[in-house]
Chain A
Amino acid sequence: MLEILKKTLKAGSQTTKYPQIPDEAPEGFRGKPQLFPDRCTYCGECAAVCPPNVIWLTEERGEKTLTLSYCGCIFCGRCEEVCQSGAVKLTQEYELASKTKEDLLTSIRRKL
């Protein structure tokens, strides 16, 4: 009995304080992908390799648009791997919950 009590006091509380204190993901965690508009060449490599097809490259009225939806993204990191200009980076951010699908879209565009 005393032994168990000793052990418990030594271990202390292991519960995370998460909602009160922000919890950072460990290094190497694949979270929300971020697009860098100044580095992107709009080659469409990332759109071609994306397994769940959540990256699209569209062309409209002389404007190229690269759209990424976090809704359906499996955070595999293939886009980051194939991008030669380093325009896609996976961040540590994981708090992505949202009420609408439109909030989960992100896009960058450039005039030709």
Chain B
Amino acid sequence: MSVEDEIELMGQRLNEKIKKIFGRSLHIREVDAGSCNACEVEVNALSNPIYDIERFGIHIVASPRHADMLLVTGPVTRNMELALLKTYNATPSPKLVAAMGSCACNGGIFGETYASGGGVDKFIPVDVYIPGCPPRPQAVIFGIMVALDKLPQKIGKTGVKP
């Protein structure tokens, strides 16, 4: 099976997966933990008519209390560290965390310094890494698909039915 066939299969499975696990609704809270705003521009592009993630039932929400998944961007600066932890604690379990962009994965161009934490995984557990500077909207959709693979395990662990 070629890579293209595999991707095609994954796309068909995405709709089924969201339907089965979430009843056609995955809610995402986007957290800016000191990002340069390039990643935010790509997240904005996700809900425009061209990429339109609402067709899969994925929504961007305004509060972590409404969310199933956190999409964290930026290297986690000293000022945003507490805000990120509070957001993580406010999200109901079972929750997913996606680190979007190179900064969130590893510190990226900012590295690990006095003011920059150097990656989201140093503060909260991360389920999926989406590299790219910034990642294309398609790459973010792909990342969400990868994250959804992990969800059945999480539901089993917490015993909470969504």
Contact = CB atoms under 8 A, between A and B. Distances in A.
Report whether chain A binds chain B.
Answer: yes
Interface of A: 14-16, 18-23, 25, 51-54, 69-76, 94-101, 104
Shortest Cβ-Cβ A-B pairs, 10 listed: A19-B11, A72-B106, A97-B143, A74-B133, A20-B11, A71-B105, A97-B130, A95-B142, A97-B146, A96-B131
Contacts of A21: 8, 11
A87 to B, nearest CB: 21
B-side interface size class: 35 or more
B109 A96 contact: no
A58 to B, nearest CB: 18
A15 B4 CA distance: 20
Given A51-B109, A52-B108, A96-B132, A73 B102 contact: yes
B11 A15 contact: no
Contact of B11 (A18, A51, A75): A18
Contacts, number: 105
Given A20-B12, A97-B128, A104-B129, A53 B111 contact: yes
A100 to B, nearest CB: 8
Q: Count chain A CB atoms within 10 A of each CB in B7, B10, B50 and give the residue with the most.
A: B7
Contacts of A19: 7, 10-12, 14, 141-142, 145
Contacts of A74: 102, 108-109, 133
A104 B4 contact: no
Contacts of A16: 50-51, 138
A21 B5 CA distance: 9
Given A25-B136, A95-B142, A98-B146, A72 B11 contact: no
Main secondary structure of the interface of A (DSSP, over half): loop
A50 B102 CA distance: 14
B49 interface: yes
Contact of A20 (B8, B142, B147): B8
B58 to A, nearest CB: 11
B40 interface: no
Contacts of A76: 133
B135 interface: yes
A36 to B, nearest CB: 19
B149 to A, nearest CB: 8
